[in-house]
Amino acid sequence: MPDVNYRKVTRVDVAREAGTSVAVVSYVINNGPRPVAEATKQKVLAAIKKTGYRPNGIAKALASGSTQTYGLVIPDISNPFLASIAHALQREAFKHGHVLLLGDAGDSRVREKELINNLLLRQVEGLIYTSVDRHPYIDLIQSSGTPCVMLDRVDPTEGVSALQVNEKLAAYKITRHLIEHGFKDIGIICGPIEMLNTQDRLSGWENALVEANLGIQKKWVIAGQYTRDWGYQAIYQMQKIGFPEAIFATNELQAFGCLKALAELKLRVPEDIALVCFNGTVQSEYTVPTLTTVRQPVDKIAEKAIQILQNWPNKEAICEVDFELQIGHSCGCW
C-alpha cells in the first residue's frame, strides 16, 4: 500500500527507499540506457510500489528534449469527417507512444492562429493541420522548425508536407459516375469559392462535364459553406431556378442538408433527383438513401501522417493517397 503522499514523491525518494542512486532508478524505469543488476532492479521496483511513485512526464520531457506529443489543428472536431481522422490519428500516434493535443479552431481563423502558437509553445513534435481557410499559417510553423503535415490541399509552397487525395480527379470521377447514369444537368454545391479544395472539386466537376460535351451552366454552381445548413439552403435556392437532374455536394454535411430539404419538397432521391457527395463517412452508409460518396482512406492517411512526422525531415513534400468511390443508392445505383 503506497504511503500517503504529503509531498510529491520523486525519484530521490525512490532511490533512498531502494538504497540506491537516482540514476539506477532511471535505468530501471526506462529499461536503459545502462543495464541494472536483477537484484537491484527488484529493490527499485519494490521501492516504486511502496512509495507510490509516478514519474513526472514534464520533467522527463524537459530533460530529454522530447515531449512525445503531436498537435492536431482542425476547423471543427464535430465535423464527422474530421472526427474520423482524429480518431485514426490518435490511435496511430499512440502506437508510437505519442499523444495528441486537440486544437479545434471552431472555424475561426483567429482562434486557429492562437492554437498553433499555443501548441508550438508546448513543444509539440509535429503538427497535423487542416486550416480553416485558404491561407494556413505555414510560416509560423516553419519558423519554429516544427514538423508539419497538412491534410489540406495547399499552395505548392516550398517545404510544406501535405497528404491529400487528388481532389480534382475524385470530383471528376464522381461527376463522371453521374454522367454514366445518363444525367445531363448536374448541379454542384460548393464551399467557400476562394478555398483551394473548393476550386479543385469544382474543376473536377467541370472537366467531367466538358469531356462529356455537357456544357457548364453557371446557375448550377452554388457556392457557400461546407455546412449542413448550406446544403439545405442550396436546395431551396435551386428550387427557384429549377432543379438539375443530379447534384454533387462537395462535402458530406452539405449532402445531409440536401437530403433534408429534398424530403421537405417531396422530391425523392434518386428518383426525382440524384445526389452524391465528397468525403463521406460511415454515416453516409446510414442515410436514406445511402449516399454515393468519395471516401478518403482515413486509416491510411493517419498512418502516413504519423510516419511523415516521425521521419522528419523528408523530401516527399506532397504525398497523394488513393480515394475510393463508395457507391450508395443516392446516385441511382441499386
Comparing C-alpha atoms, which of 128, 178, 181 is closest to residue 278? Answer: 178
Do residues 198 and 225 make contact, with C-beta atoms less than 8 angstroms apart?
Answer: no
Type of residue at 272: D
256 contacts its own copies (rule: CB under 8 A): yes
Distance of CA 93 to the CA centre of its chain: 13
> What track of x and - describes contact with its own copies for positions 2 through 21 (by CB under 8 A)?
x--x----------------
Site of grid cell 486509416 = 299
C-beta closer to its own copies: residue 104 or 206: 104
Among 1, 4, 33, 139, binds DNA (CB under 7 A): 33
Interacting residues of 56 by C-beta distance below 8 A, sequence separation 6+: 8, 10
Site for its own copies in 107-126 (CB under 8 A): 111, 114-115, 118-123
58 contacts its own copies (rule: CB under 8 A): yes
Supply the DSSP symbol for 212.
T
Site of grid cell 493517397 = 321
The distance of closest approach from Cβ of residue 312 to its own copies in the complex, given in angstroms and rounded to an integer, is: 16
Comparing C-alpha atoms, which of 290, 330, 282 is closest to residue 178? Answer: 330
The distance of closest approach from Cβ of residue 67 to DNA in the complex, given in angstroms and rounded to an integer, is: 12
If you compute the radius of gyration of the chain from its CA atoms, what whole number of angstroms results? 26
Site of grid cell 468519395 = 294
Long-range CB contacts (< 8 A, 24+ apart) of 299-302? 299/88, 299/92, 301/85, 301/88, 301/151, 301/163, 302/85, 302/88, 302/89, 302/91, 302/92
Among 42, 143, 217, 311, binds its own copies (CB under 8 A): 143
DSSP string across 79-133:
SHHHHHHHHHHHHHHHHTT-EEEEEE-TT-HHHHHHHHHHHHHTT-S-EEE--SS
Among 27, 172, 220, 226, binds DNA (CB under 7 A): 27
> What track of x and - describes contact with DNA for positions 59 through 88 (by CB under 7 A)?
xx-xxxx-----------------------
Among 30, 143, 311, 314, binds DNA (CB under 7 A): 30
The distance of closest approach from Cβ of residue 204 to its own copies in the complex, given in angstroms and rounded to an integer, is: 26
The distance of closest approach from Cβ of residue 274 to its own copies in the complex, given in angstroms and rounded to an integer, is: 16
Among 1, 6, 8, 213, binds DNA (CB under 7 A): 8
For 90, other C-beta atoms within 10 Å of its C-beta total 17
Among 19, 34, 94, 320, binds its own copies (CB under 8 A): 94
C-beta closer to its own copies: residue 42 or 64: 64
24 contacts DNA (rule: CB under 7 A): yes
- Pick the stretch among 20-28, 32-40, 69-77, 214-222 that binds its own copies (CB under 8 A): 69-77
Site for its own copies in 271-300 (CB under 8 A): 281-283, 285-290
CA distances from 274 to 174, 234, 254, 271 (A): 12, 15, 14, 7
Among 16, 29, 185, 192, binds DNA (CB under 7 A): 29
H/E segment holding residue 174 = helix 167-180
288 contacts DNA (rule: CB under 7 A): no
List of residues contacting its own copies (CB under 8 A): 2, 5, 52, 54-59, 61-62, 67, 69, 72, 76-78, 80, 83-84, 86-87, 90-91, 94, 99-104, 106, 111, 114-115, 118-123, 143-145, 228, 232, 256-257, 259-260, 263, 281-283, 285-290
